[in-house]
């Protein structure tokens, strides 16, 4: 299977006064198409920094990063924004839904920036809601949905552009255990359909759903094992 992500000697350093903080330091990792990978580590391990770089939300201070054979290491902010919209679907712990918009409008939002027509947005949005078993809630606003349903809307929004990868940052962090496992069952189904999924979590039982676990410590990869 072809690599969809190639990270080579990536570093992200910050200056705090005169001191250099090495959030991640010379990390190399490849992820193949249709892999399901978890990044694990304690707070400050570098897992979120690595995900931000893979998600084109931040740029490295050293090394190279290729996404779908494109070198995105030194792209401009506008170029990175375009890559994010076309190639990456994000799922966040806090859902990040527009409170006054319906589930369908929230799901369809990335398509507005991508230039799709109103009819195309509706058709693609409804398909994404169907994929997460939420088509009957298309007209409901976030305050009319449960926590699990809100996260399903967020997952549908991540899927709607048919992205190369889905990045999930602590996707069950705001959910109870039963709802968390329901959401993870959905990620399993999405992976089985062919989606590439990368998840950040600090919970062992959530990481256990993935097929590969990359553990980080002090800005370095401490282990990388098939699950």
Sequence-ordered strand ranges (E) for 41-180:
62-67, 70-71, 88-92, 165-169
Report pLDDT for 200.
94
Predicted pLDDT of residue 115:
87
Could you tell me which residues come within 8 angstroms of residue 69 by beta carbon, excluding any fewer than 6 positions away? none
Q: What is the DSSP letter of 172?
A: T
Q: Which residues of the chain have pLDDT under 50?
A: none
At 113 the pLDDT is 84
The per-residue pLDDT for range 17-52, each reduced to its tens digit, is 888 989 999 999 999 999 999 999 988 899 989 999
CA 14 vs. chain centroid, Å, equals 23
Looking up residue 189, the CATH number of its domain turns out to be 3.40.50.300
Domain that holds residue 151: 3-226
- What is the torsional sign of CA 202, 206, 208, 209? negative
Per the structure, the count of domains in the chain is 1
């Amino acid at each position: 299977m072809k690599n969809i992500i190639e990270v080579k000697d990536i570093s992200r350093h910050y200056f705090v006064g005169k001191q250099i903080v090495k959030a991640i330091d010379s990390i190399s990792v490849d992820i193949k198409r249709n892999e399901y990978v978890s990044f694990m580590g304690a707070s400050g391990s570098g897992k979120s920094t690595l995900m931000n770089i893979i998600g084109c939300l931040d740029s490295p201070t050293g090394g190279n990063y290729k996404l779908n054979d494109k070198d995105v290491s030194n792209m401009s902010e506008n170029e990175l924004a375009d890559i994010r919209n076309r190639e990456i679907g994000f799922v966040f712990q806090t859902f990040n839904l527009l409170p006054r918009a319906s589930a369908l409008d929230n799901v369809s939002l990335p398509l507005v920036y991508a230039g799709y027509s109103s009819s195309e947005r509706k058709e693609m949005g409804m398909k994404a809601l169907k994929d997460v078993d939420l088509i009957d809630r298309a007209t409901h606003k976030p305050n009319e949905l449960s926590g699990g349903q809100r996260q399903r809307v967020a997952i549908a929004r991540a899927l709607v552009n048919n992205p190369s990868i889905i990045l999930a940052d602590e996707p069950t962090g705001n959910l109870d255990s039963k709802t968390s496992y329901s959401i993870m069952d959905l990620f399993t189904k999405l992976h089985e359909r062919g989606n590439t999924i990368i998840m950040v979590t600090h919970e062992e039982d959530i990481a256990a759903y993935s097929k590969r676990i990359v553990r980080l410590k002090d800005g370095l990869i401490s282990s990388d094992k098939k699950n």
